[in-house]
């Protein structure tokens, strides 16, 4: 929800699905909040922890953006205080966004897959031909 109480349009959420990461200015512009508000929310909400690129710029994943949208909703629409919104977010089960889980585990998954394929090939080679 933006400061005017409007829900982000499906077009807006579609824009966030085109790239895996967004800079703070992009997120601020698309969600109609100022960058300093996002930085403040990072200090107040432990669940909002964007990574930083090598140059030190904040980069937000889709999971971070979903958290920001939820914070906006709690603060601007449901009129929670910062403390109340923090408590509400803490009650929600922590879910790793699929894109984060995939990007963090792809190398290990490929290594495991390669090992399994090698084991299957070894088993097939040891089997007698019918």
Please check whether residues 106 and 120 belong to one and the same domain: yes
Average pLDDT over residues 34-56: 93
32-36, 46-50, 125-129: least confidently modelled range: 125-129
Please check whether residues 83 and 118 belong to one and the same domain: no
Please check whether residues 59 and 111 belong to one and the same domain: no
Per-residue model confidence (pLDDT) at position 1:
47
pLDDT at position 100 over 80: no
Residue 127, C-beta contacts closer than 8 angstroms, at least 6 positions apart: none
109 lies in which domain range?
96-130
pTM: 0.61
Other Cβ atoms less than 10 A from the Cβ of 88: the count is: 15
Round the average pLDDT of the chain to a whole number and report it: 80
pLDDT at position 111 over 90: no
Angle at 29 between CA 104 and CA 89, to 5 degrees: 55
Please check whether residues 50 and 106 belong to one and the same domain: no
Per-residue model confidence (pLDDT) at position 2:
47
Which 3 state secondary structure label does DSSP give 16? Answer: coil
Task: Write the CA distances from 119 to 105, 110, 112, 115, 123, integer angstroms.
Answer: 21, 14, 11, 6, 6
pLDDT at position 117 over 90: no
Please check whether residues 41 and 67 belong to one and the same domain: yes
Please check whether residues 9 and 61 belong to one and the same domain: yes
Which of 24, 34, 44 has the alpha carbon at shortest distance from 90?
A: 44
Per-residue model confidence (pLDDT) at position 114:
83
């Amino acid at each position: 929800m933006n400061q005017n109480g409007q829900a982000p349009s499906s077009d807006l959420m579609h824009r966030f699905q085109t790239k895996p990461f967004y800079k703070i200015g992009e997120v601020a512009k698309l969600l109609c909040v100022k960058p300093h508000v996002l930085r403040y929310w990072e200090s107040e909400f432990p669940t909002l922890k964007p990574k930083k690129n090598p140059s030190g710029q904040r980069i937000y994943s889709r999971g971070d953006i979903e958290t920001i949208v939820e914070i906006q909703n709690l603060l601007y629409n449901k009129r929670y205080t910062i403390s109340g919104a923090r408590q509400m977010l803490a009650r929600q089960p922590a879910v790793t966004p699929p894109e984060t889980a995939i990007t963090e585990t792809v190398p290990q998954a490929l290594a495991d897959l390669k090992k399994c394929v090698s084991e299957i090939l070894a088993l097939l080679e040891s089997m007698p031909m019918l």
